[in-house]
Each structure stands twice: as structure tokens, then as C-alpha cells.
């Protein structure tokens, strides 16, 4: 687990509180071109890809098991009443894609994961991902 170096609670610095952690050794799959097409994930034997997948699942399980309140992470926020836990992440992804698509290269993996994600009025606080739109205009 990387060591946390510092916490900046002032949202004026980057728009919200944030923290900085040490880097962790390892390989990160590329975004462009997609790791499904080229790179170490694509070229790895099935056993290594399976191990990488399970490592990711196990890491997510450990993160979800953390008592974030006991660790003093309340500053990261909690979904507002009537919203789901995915709402803040989906809004952040939409803002990020808007920024990336403005000047950057295509982000096929991010775009693919956000197709059609939008608030669903019929389910207050709910999101649906219909796969009907592109995140970046072509």
C-alpha cells in the first residue's frame, strides 16, 4: 500500500480536497492505444492476464472493506441523500471526458465505459448506461 505524503484540505487549490501518495512499482495498462489491442496485457499469457484481473478484483475488495470514517477520510465526501454511490464518480467522469475530448487524443476505453451514462429521473439518484451515445464527439 503506498504511503500518504500529505493532505490538502483546502478546495481552493484544485477544486476539492486531495491527498498525494507515493508511487507504486508495477505496470499500468495503456489507454491509447487500448491495452486490449496492444501492450503487455494483450501479449501476456492467459495465466498472467487472469492473475492481473484477480489482483484488481482483490484490491477493489480491500478498498471496499476499509472503514473510511475510522481512517478520517470523511473529507472525501459521501453521496447526498437520494443519490447513489456512482453519481459523483459518473459526474466526475463526464467532466473529465469533456475536458479530455476538448484538446486531447481519443480515449476509447474511457469513452466506451461512459456510453450513454446519464442521470435517470425515473430513478431518483439513479444512473443508467444505455450505450447509446459517444462521450467525445467525432
pLDDT tens by residue, 85-135? 677 777 777 787 777 777 777 777 766 666 555 555 444 444 444 443 344
Q: Are 86 and 11 in contact (CB under 8 A)?
A: no
Closest by alpha carbon to 88, among 57, 117, 121, 51? 117
pLDDT tier for residue 22 given thresholds of 50, 70 and 90 = very high
Helix (H, G, I), strand (E, B) or coil at 53: helix
pLDDT score of 123: 47
pLDDT score of 51: 92
What pLDDT digit, counting tens, does each position of 32-87 carry?
A: 788 888 889 999 999 999 998 898 899 889 988 989 889 888 877 776 776 776 77
Where are the strands (E) in 9-137, listed by range?
18-21, 117-120, 126-129
Report field, pTM of the whole predicted structure over 0.75: no
Q: How far apart are CA 123 and CA 84, in angstroms?
A: 10
Burial call 47-57: b when 16+ CB within 10 Å, e when fewer: eeeeebeeeee
Amino acid at each position: 500500500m503506498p504511503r500518504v505524503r500529505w493532505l490538502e484540505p483546502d478546495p481552493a487549490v484544485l477544486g476539492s480536497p486531495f491527498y498525494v501518495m507515493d508511487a507504486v512499482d508495477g505496470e499500468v495498462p495503456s489507454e491509447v492505444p487500448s491495452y486490449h489491442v496492444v501492450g503487455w496485457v494483450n501479449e501476456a499469457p492467459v495465466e498472467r492476464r487472469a492473475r492481473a484481473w484477480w489482483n484488481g478484483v482483490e484490491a477493489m475488495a480491500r478498498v471496499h472493506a476499509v472503514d473510511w470514517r475510522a481512517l478520517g477520510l470523511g473529507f472525501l465526501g459521501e453521496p447526498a441523500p437520494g443519490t447513489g454511490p456512482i453519481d459523483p464518480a459518473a459526474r466526475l467522469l463526464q467532466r473529465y471526458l469533456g475536458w479530455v475530448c476538448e484538446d486531447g487524443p481519443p480515449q476509447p476505453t474511457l469513452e466506451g465505459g461512459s456510453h450513454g451514462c446519464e442521470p435517470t429521473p425515473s430513478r431518483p439518484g439513479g444512473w443508467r448506461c444505455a450505450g447509446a451515445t459517444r462521450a467525445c464527439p467525432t
